[in-house]
Structure 1
Amino acid sequence: MLRQRTGCRPARLASNVSWLTRFRTREFRANAMTVACAAALTLIGTPESAVAQSPRQAVTSRQLQLSLPAQPLALTIDALARQSGVGIGLDASLATGKNAPALQGSMTLGQALDRVLSGSGLTAAANGSGVSIRRENDSVSTLEAVTVTAVTSPWELPPPYAGGQVARGGRVGLLGDLDFMDTPFNQTSYTAQLIENQQAQMIADVLVGDPSVRDSGRKYGQASNAFFIRGLPFATIDASFNGLRGVFPNYRQPVEALERIEVLKGPNALLNGMGTSIAGDINLVPKRAGPEPLTRLNVGYMSDSEYGTHLDLGRRFGQDDAWGVRVNAVYRDGDTPIDEQSGRLAMGAVGLDYQGEKLRMSLDLIHQDIKLDNVSPFSFTFATPDIPSPPPSDSAILLGGKADHEETTAAFRAEYDFSDAVSAYVAAGHLKSRSDTVNTQVANIMPDGSYQGTLSTDAYGLDNTNIQVGANVNFATGPVQHKVAISADRYHQRSFMRSSGRSANGPTMPGNIYEPMEGQLPAVPTSGRWVSNGTVDRESIAVADTLSFIEDRVNLIVGVRKQYVEQEGAVRGGTVHYKDDAWTPMVGLVVKPRHDLSLYANYVQGLLQGSTVRDVSSPDNGKMFPPYKAEQYEVGIKKDFGEFATTVSLFQIEQPTQLVDPITREYSQDGQQRNRGIEWNMFGDLTPQLSVLGGISYVRAELTKTAGGLNEGHQAPGIPKLQANLGIEWHVPAVTGLTLGARVIRTGAAYLDAANTQRISGWTRYDVGARYATRIGGKEVTFRGTVENVFNKNYWIGVNGGAVLSAPRTFLLSASIDF
């Protein structure tokens, strides 16, 4: 008899709400008390009206991505049980002498069982807590005719969609996990399967396939990444880790520890609070131990000569397997695709969790140490409108840059269900980050490639802490269902520098981008102990209500967040202090005329921490501006064809920008940039053998208010109007386990300056790959190979204030085995 996972746990509340444990201001305490009283009054009225969450969708409708060879029937049934998480009972005598055909592509568990049992005289039937394989004459009901609930954690993530590359949904801030058809935003959740198959080493490797996102850094040449989402910059320090902002490692984020990378596009202050970016949110979901033991070893190679090893272990133990541990360890070392550049990365991550009937807890610990020699310049700036042709993309340009990063993360989360309608949680995370770097600066490049180059040291540290606590309540008022989310959090950041100073510049040296040269270090490099040089405190309270009408065919989300920010920092000549607050509302609407069609709209504000003027030539030097507010209007339509889904979104985002008077040198926030755009996203299976992922994005980023109207109406620097992606995977029918893939990435031309005189050409990149899944010695083995930038094309990539150089042709090879 095959091992079964039996017993079905009740569905849990999907969304989470937090409440703050520390109140720093009288006004903050007063507002918190107001929301707390409202919550208490709500709870008083819930016993009779409380509505339990509906059961999870039957696993018979969930798509599985299968790649199983022709083999004995018992082995295939065992593999289906492990991959689906459903207990499948099979008497060994019934399987004797029977073989199963190969299973390739995306299908439901019921479809898979129909195929492997066809002609065997056996059929699948529900047994209440799982599935049983029986003789056809003994069957009572077939699998497709009943609802079968898998034994899954209350923390189970939205299941993968057809093709396995993205999930059906993801976290939407304080609203919790939502199906993509129920979300009034454009969101994409990328799976661990995609991360593994793309042999990703950092977030940029995963998001490269999203048409609304572009990496603003040179992938392998730099020590960190930043992104543009809908044409607005997104800093990696703003990424959320299991809902906690700013506590995940900031440099070359270790994706090997992640189960999902969820991208929410557009401002979202109500959902996630204030950050240093308003472009959207990237939520990183940690791996958890699954129902079956996992021991996976992966060895890999990246050109020029970097070798790596990744060990992934998962176990559950204790009564009812309530306790789980997931361990990921990574080590990479060698030369990167950039000439004369080498790097080393060591990372360890441990994820512990407890899953009881009412109480659930998790603890994640991550530590990584990164070293990189001869880092590439963060950006290139040009002296004239005549932009020179880019140098070879594997060129290091200016040698001597270095990066040394050490980061540690700890994150805890606990949830408790008081009833089927009321739950609460507390979460806390901390990041300790220390970085010593030597940056390369290449500026004023002439048409012949000559430039002025500088090496500068930079010592920078962060201690970030984020605390969230709260509750979630479901109830009904007549025919209207309510999901009330109340959230509060506190974010504290303390920045550090070396006691001898944060940075120092070396001498400026002439060079040429076509002839790599050695730079010269500062005479007095930055050194000494770490000392604090500033703090940022952000506190907020928020409440949102999801009102559902007509059996969930109409969902209206209304909410508001009150945000407080306080900042202290050092500038030339002394220190400055700043304190302010702001309200940020949101309204979202989802209308589903059919279960497979969603129409949505939202109005939401973004809130960006005010900047500090650091200009000794200005009388405003040291001035801190109040928070920036951005507004987004968005409408869209989503269609789910069952195995293929598509989303079309139209949006407008308006945000203030900083201006400086060219005569008085006075600064203001009177500028404005307006981004209007349309996005088309698609994912899933076009056929059982062909999967697709991609889309098109068009953004008109217009400078609508400028100093003296000088550049009004121009396209904002660094933002191309057109971005398009198309990735396909073909599961070769003639060769069981073989999958071929290809991807094309197109980015249009962009301006590098507000005057729109410096223009770089658009570019197209092609990638190809293949993987082969098989069994060797009874073990599941997968071989993967990828070539990025197949034609080794050299091109400039526009960023805010300059450009970066493309990554060269890169070969990636790996092999993984499950023990």
Structure 2
Amino acid sequence: MRSSPRHRLLNAALAAAFGTTFLSWSSLASAQPSAQASEPTFNISVPAQPLAAALNELSRQTGAQVLTSGDLVSKIAASAVSGRLTLQQALDRMLSGSGLSAAREGSAVVIRAPAASAADKTLPQVQVTATREVDLTTELQQEGKAADGYRAKTISSVGALGSMGLQDTPFSMSVVPLELVQNIQAQSPDDIYKLNASTRTTTPQITSWSPSVNIRGFDGYNTAEDGLRRPYNHAAVIEDKERVEILNGLSGFLFGAAQPGGMVNFVYKRPTIERLNSVTVGNYGGSQAYVHADLGGRIDEAGRAGYRLNLVKQDGSTAIDDQKINRQLVSAAADWQLTDQLLLELNGVYNQYKTTGTSAYWFFDGVKHGSAPDAKRLWGQPWVSDKFENTKLMGKLTYQVNDALTLRGAYARDFLDRTGDHTVNLVSTPASFEQIRTRAGLTKDVYDAGSAMADISVKTGSVAHKITVGYTMYSDKYYDSPSQFSTGPQGPYSFTAPTYVQEPNFPPAVGDPKYGGRDLNKNHLIGDQITFNDQWSVLLGVSRSNIQSGTYNKSRNSPSVSLLFKPMPWLSTYASYIEGLEMGGTAPDTASNARQVQSPMVSRQKEIGVKATVGKLLLTGAIFDIEKAYEFTNSNNVYTQDGRQKHTGIEFNASGKLFDKLTVVSGITALNPKVKGSDLDGKSPINVAKVVTKVYAEYALPVPGLSLAGGLYYTGKQWADSANTDRLPAVTTADLSVRYATQVSGKPLTLRLSVNNVADKNYWLNSYYVGAPRSVAFSAQMQF
């Protein structure tokens, strides 16, 4: 049975990692030169990049098995190769000037160094394996470098389908890789969402509420970690992540029950083959000093086991007056190749995160939003705090039974303890507001997520199938505090400057948190990736999704159908239809039916898209239509479902090298959002911007190692109330940064300086929150 191209590459890391051999230099002499005469030709397009990554891409495009030694290719750059070529011609061009050559060994091609002495003609012992997940780890670590314009070619997890090539996915997806995360000095997911034209922060992490994101105009808490769902992402950290992958649009068949906007998958750093010691010291803005150590390497000489350890300590004031963040992170990962076919991956995370002086939630009661208040001021209270203590354990097993069958299993359990206060500013007159302060007491959540999947590769004649069948689930058991106290509305207070008061004498918390219930989603699914030839493929899938929450228990089938056409290797087009089931929304605390959970909802999406690698740029575009049940707070202050919410839109994104010295990561999303039915028929949904445009660019200055970067981020007008009588103005913010990469005593050193919101604009992020003020971040990263 023919294995997939990704299974057939032994890249630099794998070649060094495994321990017994069947290859020797002397065996290469048996390769038959005459075989080249009958070699097929391929449409090949491989940009200049590190040789290991280039060989990986060539293997993917041709289906060839390429074998080599890690030490041989680890520090070599490959020339660009394109055109209609045989495999041998492509390799000859790719290896030009490297001193290496390629020769056949049976069905494989071996990359070797120039002839050496007889004593050196036998390779170190290497067992060639096809362990997909180890190969995937190296791919992810090699992709998305600043030198390559932050372009990624692989998605680590397309939900239940596992890893796929970015251009092979019939969905709109994008990647924010590690070096881009580092170079923008991202502190939280809010900094990631700022870069992507389809994402906007809805609830910032510095508030006392659950962080959320808006994708394609729909709010949600849609997050996953290494492909495993979790309902919320409290106190999220970035330093232990290899990349962030964003799926725009419905994800029902792929990830289970979720809001229709999209899914954000945070991918953990995995162990490295070579020793990694990286220490970063810096400041995230204000006086938020931090130190971050990123350590990795092999545990054993054969490289069958490895580790990754990320340690963070941060303390100090943010760019907002009287607001502080104190946190510490210990995040460890270990990989162990138990056998040639069986891989175990483990993660353990401890995260303690406390924000003092959290940003306030604004609620306008029949009054239009005026100019945003001063974003540098704290409009809550300095004593209001939100503290999380989070312990997480994760494990994955991947067993490649043979070329035709791979079994995958994963499970995560996440313990979250939270103590927090809340501040709500009620605006009922244009000149003043009242303030409610609430002490919520201790609450607990236990999150579980798991999956059990089988990938089966079969052929029916000339048609190849990759069938995926399995089960996924996630749940949230929550424990509420019996003690919650509120001051009720206090004030009024002026918009001129914040008014701080003494901490109220709240009664002490009594009793431990009590079990409040469980939200559970279970999904049984089957999918078939059908490949007719190099140009045409179809993805069919259906999941049986069950939601249990409160008093309801509802199941529904969610189908997915996609057609992918690749007229050329560098160009993909697709058309897709997908449905999804989602949990109903929860009424906000300001509604008369506060915290009441609505019924589950069905969402539908139609989409056509295109993806093209042009030179060193990845260009993607999509036209989509999404609709779901409409939830809103009606004129009687009751949060309810009535009518349908429909978003028709178009998006375009570009990432990579526009020129050798100029990198761009940019995009635009244009929406036509409407409410159909209900008393609000024809209105636009609240907090949906019709146009969002973002441009981030880096330019390599003539001074070696010195780069200048900047970003422009435009958010169009958005309605701040359901009746469309209160409209927030459009806003454009700008960032600037400079980076200098050099060496000290032969060790890489990178210095970074970033200024966010350079003009220090005050603006409404949405109807509930004020945007972030100007902040200055800087850091020094040393690798040794």
TM-score (norm 2): 0.83
Separation in 2 of the partners of 1:513 and 1:404? Answer: 28
Q: Specify the code of the residue in structure 1 equivalent to 2:561.
A: V
**Corresponding residue to 1:591 among 549, 554, 565:** 565
How far has the Cα of 1:598 moved from its partner?
1.2
Aligned residues: 702
**Corresponding residue to 1:684 among 619, 634, 656:** 656
- Note the alpha carbon deviations across 1:453-489, whole angstroms, 9 max, x for none: 1111224321111121121101111121101011212
**Corresponding residue to 1:559 among 541, 544, 550:** 541
- Residue number in structure 2 paired with 1:70: none
Asked if the contact 1:166–1:194 (Cα under 8 Å) also holds between the matched residues in 2, the reply is: no
Separation in 2 of the partners of 1:616 and 1:390? Answer: 21
Asked if the contact 1:782–1:816 (Cα under 8 Å) also holds between the matched residues in 2, the reply is: yes
Q: Specify the code of the residue in structure 2 equivalent to 1:756.
A: N
Say which structure, 1 or 2, has more relative contact order (CA 8 Å, 6+ apart).
Answer: 1
Alpha carbons of structure 1 residues 393 and 244: separation in structure 2 relative to 1, 3 Å: same
Separation in 2 of the partners of 1:598 and 1:204? Answer: 31
Secondary structure at the aligned position of 1:403 is classed as strand
Separation in 2 of the partners of 1:786 and 1:621? Answer: 41
Separation in 1 of the partners of 2:638 and 2:465? Answer: 50
Asked if the contact 1:218–1:805 (Cα under 8 Å) also holds between the matched residues in 2, the reply is: no
Q: Specify the code of the residue in structure 2 equivalent to 1:789.
A: N
How far has the Cα of 1:672 moved from its partner?
1.0
Separation in 1 of the partners of 2:209 and 2:595? Answer: 29
Alpha carbons of structure 1 residues 679 and 365: separation in structure 2 relative to 1, 3 Å: same
- Note the alpha carbon deviations across 1:93-142, whole angstroms, 9 max, x for none: xx9xxxx9xx9x9979999x999997xxx73434765553789xxxxxxx
How far has the Cα of 1:626 moved from its partner?
3.6
- Note the alpha carbon deviations across 1:481-509, whole angstroms, 9 max, x for none: 101011212323211112x3355444522
Secondary structure at the aligned position of 1:795 is classed as coil
Is residue 179 of structure 1 aligned with residue 165 of structure 2? Answer: yes
Separation in 1 of the partners of 2:705 and 2:377? Answer: 38
Structure 1 residues 471-486: aligned runs within 5 Å = 471-486=454-469
Q: Specify the code of the residue in structure 1 equivalent to 2:543.
A: R
How far has the Cα of 1:165 moved from its partner?
2.2
- Note the alpha carbon deviations across 1:648-677, whole angstroms, 9 max, x for none: 1111111012467868x9986332110111
What percent of counterpart residues are identical? Answer: 25
Question: Any stretches of 5+ residues in structure 2 without a counterpart?
Answer: 1-11, 19-41, 53-67, 83-88, 104-108, 117-129
Alpha carbons of structure 1 residues 599 and 765: separation in structure 2 relative to 1, 3 Å: same
How far has the Cα of 1:782 moved from its partner?
0.7
Alpha carbons of structure 1 residues 425 and 766: separation in structure 2 relative to 1, 3 Å: same
Secondary structure at the aligned position of 1:418 is classed as strand
Alpha carbons of structure 1 residues 117 and 586: separation in structure 2 relative to 1, 3 Å: closer
Separation in 2 of the partners of 1:661 and 1:716? Answer: 13
Separation in 2 of the partners of 1:193 and 1:661? Answer: 46
Is residue 727 of structure 1 aligned with residue 696 of structure 2? Answer: yes
How far has the Cα of 1:521 moved from its partner?
3.5
Is residue 810 of structure 1 aligned with residue 784 of structure 2? Answer: no
- Note the alpha carbon deviations across 1:500-553, whole angstroms, 9 max, x for none: 3355444522112321112453743545322211112221200010111123x1
**Corresponding residue to 2:135 among 146, 149, 154:** 154
Separation in 1 of the partners of 2:720 and 2:575? Answer: 33
Q: Specify the code of the residue in structure 1 equivalent to 2:752.
A: R
Secondary structure at the aligned position of 2:99 is classed as strand
- Residue number in structure 1 paired with 2:154: 169
Structure 1 residues 316-715: aligned runs within 5 Å = 316-318=298-300, 320-355=302-337, 356-381=339-364, 383-385=366-368, 387-399=369-381, 400-444=383-427, 446-448=429-431, 450-459=432-441, 460-498=443-481, 500-502=482-484, 504-519=486-501, 521=504, 523-524=506-507, 526-551=509-534, 553-568=535-550, 577-611=551-585, 625-658=598-631, 669-707=641-679, 711-715=680-684
Alpha carbons of structure 1 residues 649 and 616: separation in structure 2 relative to 1, 3 Å: closer
How far has the Cα of 1:316 moved from its partner?
1.0
Structure 1 residues 2-13: aligned runs within 5 Å = 7=15
Separation in 1 of the partners of 2:513 and 2:242? Answer: 34
Over the aligned positions, Cα root-mean-square deviation in angstroms equals: 3.5
Separation in 1 of the partners of 2:15 and 2:564? Answer: 34
Alpha carbons of structure 1 residues 194 and 424: separation in structure 2 relative to 1, 3 Å: same
Asked if the contact 2:48–2:79 (Cα under 8 Å) also holds between the matched residues in 1, the reply is: no
Separation in 1 of the partners of 2:749 and 2:131? Answer: 26
Q: Specify the code of the residue in structure 2 equivalent to 1:470.
A: M
How far has the Cα of 1:621 moved from its partner?
9.5
- Note the alpha carbon deviations across 1:691-742, whole angstroms, 9 max, x for none: 11011111121111223xxx2211111111010001111122x211111111
How far has the Cα of 1:389 moved from its partner?
1.4
Asked if the contact 1:106–1:163 (Cα under 8 Å) also holds between the matched residues in 2, the reply is: no
Alpha carbons of structure 1 residues 661 and 677: separation in structure 2 relative to 1, 3 Å: closer
- Note the alpha carbon deviations across 1:399-442, whole angstroms, 9 max, x for none: 14211111111111001011011010211101111111111101
Separation in 2 of the partners of 1:264 and 1:433? Answer: 26
Q: Specify the code of the residue in structure 2 equivalent to 1:125.
A: S
Asked if the contact 1:696–1:722 (Cα under 8 Å) also holds between the matched residues in 2, the reply is: yes
Alpha carbons of structure 1 residues 695 and 604: separation in structure 2 relative to 1, 3 Å: same
Separation in 1 of the partners of 2:695 and 2:587? Answer: 42
Alpha carbons of structure 1 residues 686 and 725: separation in structure 2 relative to 1, 3 Å: same
Alpha carbons of structure 1 residues 658 and 689: separation in structure 2 relative to 1, 3 Å: closer
Asked if the contact 1:766–1:790 (Cα under 8 Å) also holds between the matched residues in 2, the reply is: yes
TM-score (norm 1): 0.79
Separation in 1 of the partners of 2:135 and 2:14? Answer: 15
How far has the Cα of 1:168 moved from its partner?
1.2
Separation in 1 of the partners of 2:487 and 2:654? Answer: 47
- Note the alpha carbon deviations across 1:752-804, whole angstroms, 9 max, x for none: 01111111111111101111111101111111111101111111111xxx231
- Residue number in structure 2 paired with 1:194: 180
- Note the alpha carbon deviations across 1:333-359, whole angstroms, 9 max, x for none: 011100111120111100011134200
Is residue 770 of structure 1 aligned with residue 741 of structure 2? Answer: no
Separation in 1 of the partners of 2:46 and 2:647? Answer: 42
- Residue number in structure 2 paired with 1:73: none
Asked if the contact 2:272–2:296 (Cα under 8 Å) also holds between the matched residues in 1, the reply is: yes
- Residue number in structure 1 paired with 2:759: 791
Separation in 2 of the partners of 1:152 and 1:585? Answer: 28
**Corresponding residue to 2:276 among 294, 310, 316:** 294
Structure 1 residues 70-89: aligned runs within 5 Å = 86-88=70-72
- Residue number in structure 1 paired with 2:721: 753
How far has the Cα of 1:624 moved from its partner?
5.8
Separation in 2 of the partners of 1:509 and 1:124? Answer: 77
Asked if the contact 2:433–2:493 (Cα under 8 Å) also holds between the matched residues in 1, the reply is: yes
Separation in 2 of the partners of 1:243 and 1:267? Answer: 15
- Note the alpha carbon deviations across 1:164-219, whole angstroms, 9 max, x for none: 52411312111111112111111001111111111111111122110000011346
Q: Specify the code of the residue in structure 2 equivalent to 1:242.
A: D
How far has the Cα of 1:246 moved from its partner?
1.1
Alpha carbons of structure 1 residues 390 and 477: separation in structure 2 relative to 1, 3 Å: same
**Corresponding residue to 2:191 among 191, 205, 229:** 205
Alpha carbons of structure 1 residues 751 and 482: separation in structure 2 relative to 1, 3 Å: same
Secondary structure at the aligned position of 1:712 is classed as coil
How far has the Cα of 1:61 moved from its partner?
4.9
Q: Specify the code of the residue in structure 2 equivalent to 1:702.
A: K
Separation in 1 of the partners of 2:629 and 2:611? Answer: 31
Separation in 1 of the partners of 2:492 and 2:313? Answer: 38
Q: Specify the code of the residue in structure 1 equivalent to 2:211.
A: N
Question: Any stretches of 5+ residues in structure 1 without a counterpart?
Answer: 11-55, 67-83, 136-148, 569-576
